[in-house]
Amino acid sequence: SSNNTTTPEAPAPGYNGTACISQNDRVQLAAKVYANGQTDPADNITCKVGHLTFAAEGSSNVVTIDANGFATANQPGSSTITATVSNSTTASNAGFFSTCPPASIVLTATGQGTQNPINVGLNNTQPLTATVYDTNIDATHPSGHQITGISLEFNSTTPQTISAASGSILPSFPGSANITAVCQPSACNPSPLSQIGYLGNGKPLTSNAITVNTAGTSGTVL
């Protein structure tokens, strides 16, 4: 025979729905089950119904929930959470989960440092870098926790001459433009209609603007 030992999974803080969770942080979901349509302590049957299975409704990339009810925050946004008891196929609305929304988007032109405005040659591609921080500020994250993999919309004030739709600047004609990055629900920071604005989810956010100048000769005859 052999002696086998197992290491218990590290505990995770419980989630009560009153605060958002930063990307990649993990919490434990818990729910109470009541009988008779009441929420009185006497109707609490949580210990009798067996294992609870949690699922996120709505946007699929806000949170990942495993079989043990551990929830890992992913992309900014909030999602309704349902719970199903082991002897039933009917899920009930048990609450919601919030992954912290962006608080700031710092947009820079890659390789240009903090220079603004910048000069970009005609038909030259200038990549953009967007650094995003969430609303969860603490001693080790004074600017908020950084969010990666976020879906942003890039806008130009003169898209016909200087475009930025794909996250890089491409001047097709001489001119000037202001470029911004936007976290725009529902592609970024989505929320159920009933929760829009709560904890900052469901609200858009725009970055600082980068001014782009492209030199050239414009014709005077159309």
What are the tokens at 58? 């709505």
pLDDT given at position 30: 87
Q: What is the pTM of this model?
A: 0.84
pLDDT given at position 50: 79
pLDDT given at position 125: 96
Q: For 149-183, b where at least 16 C-beta lie within 10 A, e where not — what string? A: ebebbbbbbbeebbbbeeebbbbeeebebbbbbbb
Cα–Cα distance for residue pair 212/169, rounded to 1 Å: 8
pLDDT given at position 184: 97
Cα–Cα distance for residue pair 174/220, rounded to 1 Å: 13
pLDDT tens-digit map of 111-129: 998 889 999 999 999 999 9
For 2, half-sphere exposure in the C-beta direction (CA atoms, 13 angstrom radius) is 2
Low-confidence stretches of the chain (pLDDT < 70) are 1-12, 87, 89, 218-219, 222
pLDDT given at position 10: 56
pLDDT tens-digit map of 34-54: 887 777 888 888 788 778 889
Cα–Cα distance for residue pair 185/177, rounded to 1 Å: 24
pLDDT given at position 12: 67
pLDDT given at position 114: 86
**DSSP classification of residue 173:** S
